[in-house]
Chain A
Amino acid sequence: MRKDLRNIELLSAYLDDELSVSEKAEVEKLLATSLEMQKKLEDLKKVKQLANSIERIPESPFFETRLMASIEGQKNESSRIRRWMPATALAMVTIVVMIVMKFNPGLLDQMWDNQKVAIAGFYKENLQPVLVAANLTNEDVFNFAFNNELPLDDTRKQYLLLGYDDAGKEFFEIRSSDQKVDRGSYNEFVSAMNLDDQQKQTALKLIDVLKSKGFGVVTKVTKATVFWKAEDYHQSYYTKKSGTPYCHIYTKKF
């Protein structure tokens, strides 16, 4: 049965002249001896002729004209889309940012603070141990960053100065500490860095007033960040407790 099927399959390929020489010889041998195979071949021939007799579709004379018009149309469409893409993308990004800022106004400050914490953490974990091991203080680091000065010994009697001369050429020289000009301290910088001019003026004015009255000032005035309001049950604490405020006692200083 299986062999018969293979023979008929060979017969179909024989009809198409797609057999090897040996296969062709095998089929012709079979055809010479088997009436059934001859009949099968005739049937296959008729089926092939019938399939081949199908009428072709009439030609379409304007096909390529329509096709080229369609291709041109698509090209124009895609170039129009490409032209508007940057503006559309910008508008979309703006809308998204506006929505985010509307519902989360403190997001940028929060991101800024997180970034600062991350940088500080990175400094603390990686750079600070190296600086401590080299016996460098914050003051030394500050002076190196802003004044290009680095102490060379533990007693800080000599320091290295890096810089550029008038011709723009890099130089370094070793100076003794008695030549060093004091350009300002790290602590002053830290206390002032978060203040704008107006805040700085106000803070300095208050500090001067307090100092003139003989008070030491330890409070640092820094830039305001996000204010996190306490939950409702924390509000009006003394009213709810009906007690006397013990941390809000007024002390006259001004």
Chain B
Amino acid sequence: MISKEKEKDLQQPQILSIGDDYSIIRQFIDGDKSAFKVLVKRHKEKVRNIIYMTMNNSVLVDDIAQEVFITVYKNLKHFRFESQFTTWLYRVTVNKCKDYLRRINVRKIFLPIEDGYEVSEYSTPVENNDISKIVMDAISILPVKLRMPLILKDIEGFSYQEISETLKCEMGTVKSRIFRGREKLKEILQPLEKELMG
């Protein structure tokens, strides 16, 4: 069992390292199921934020995050310690988000607009004074393949290398998509340039 002091220590984000995650995972594999709770505490907020930014919907965040961690829990014993735990964790997160977005899009086809779930869209930004909300709505309009790298880079602060591993695509593709995402975002926010960009 992990002592309370150690548990508290491991939760501090500033001391996160591959080694810490690895030792917790080893404890989990050795049968200490409480180690998983520590792992969740350390990474849940990052996971929840990626989901929140991608889905632009706070209601779905905890449901998707729960699915992410359940998937991780079921497969953690097969973790091969060849890459960072977070790379795998964020890849699962991104894939779950993509699954949900796909489901929402399919549902939209079959349901009347008023009954179906709708991702909030960039409809009346001029009346909305909340810059954060406006930008988030604008990001949610971006195609998923541009949205994901942009969120991971500009909001979560990943390196190009980490994004490339998380999204399983080439570094050159990541570079190009981040640039195109920014260009597209600028284009969407153009009508509000004065208010937003000064």
A residues near B (Cβ < 8 Å) are: 8-9, 12-13, 16, 18, 43-44, 46-48, 50-57, 59-60, 63-64, 66-68, 70-71, 74
Q: List 16 A-B contacts (CB under 8 A).
A: A9-B176, A16-B178, A43-B186, A44-B182, A50-B185, A51-B135, A51-B139, A51-B150, A51-B151, A51-B154, A54-B53, A54-B132, A56-B45, A63-B62, A67-B40, A71-B70
Closest to B131 in A: A53
Of all chain B residues, the one with the shortest Cβ separation from A58 is B58
Determine the main DSSP class of A at the interface with B. Answer: helix
Q: Are A70's CB and B70's CB within 8 A?
A: yes
Q: Tell me whether B155 and A68 are in contact (CB under 8 A).
A: no
| Secondary structure dominating the interface of B | helix
| Contact residues in A for B131 (Cβ distance below 8 Å) | 50, 53
Q: How many whole Å from B31's CB to the nearest CB in chain A?
A: 14
Q: CB distance A53 to B182 under 8 Å?
A: no
| Shortest Cβ gap from A41 to chain B (Å) | 11
CA distance A71 to B66 in the complex (A): 9
Cα-based distance from A9 to B84 in the complex (angstroms): 29
CB within 8 Å of A: which B56-74 residues? 58, 61-62, 65-66, 69-70, 73
11 new A-B pairs (CB below 8 Å) besides A9-B176, A56-B45?
A: A12-B179, A16-B153, A47-B189, A52-B154, A54-B155, A56-B52, A57-B52, A57-B58, A67-B69, A68-B37, A71-B73
Q: Interface residue count for B (Cβ, 8 Å)?
A: 42
Contacts of B197 in A (CB 8 A): 43, 46, 50
How many pairs of residues, A versus B, come closer than 8 Å at their CB atoms?
93
Given known contacts A9-B179, A12-B179, A47-B185, A55 and B132 CB-to-CB distance under 8 angstroms? yes
Q: Which residues on B are within 8 Å of A, measured CB to CB? A: 36-37, 40-41, 44-45, 48-49, 52-53, 58, 61-62, 65-66, 69-70, 73, 131-132, 135-136, 139, 150-151, 153-155, 159-160, 175-176, 178-179, 182-183, 185-186, 189, 196-198
Q: Are A51 and B185 neighbours in the complex by a CB distance under 8 Å? A: yes
Q: By the criterion CB–CB under 8 Å, are B61 and A57 in contact?
A: yes
Residues of A within 8 A of B151 (CB): 51
Q: When the two chains form their complex, are residues B61 and A54 in contact, meaning their CB atoms are under 8 A apart?
A: no
Known: A47-B186, A64-B44, A67-B70. A54 touches B176 (CB 8 A): no
Q: Is the CB of A18 within 8 A of B175?
A: yes
Question: Which B residues are CB-close (under 8 A) to A56?
Answer: 45, 49, 52
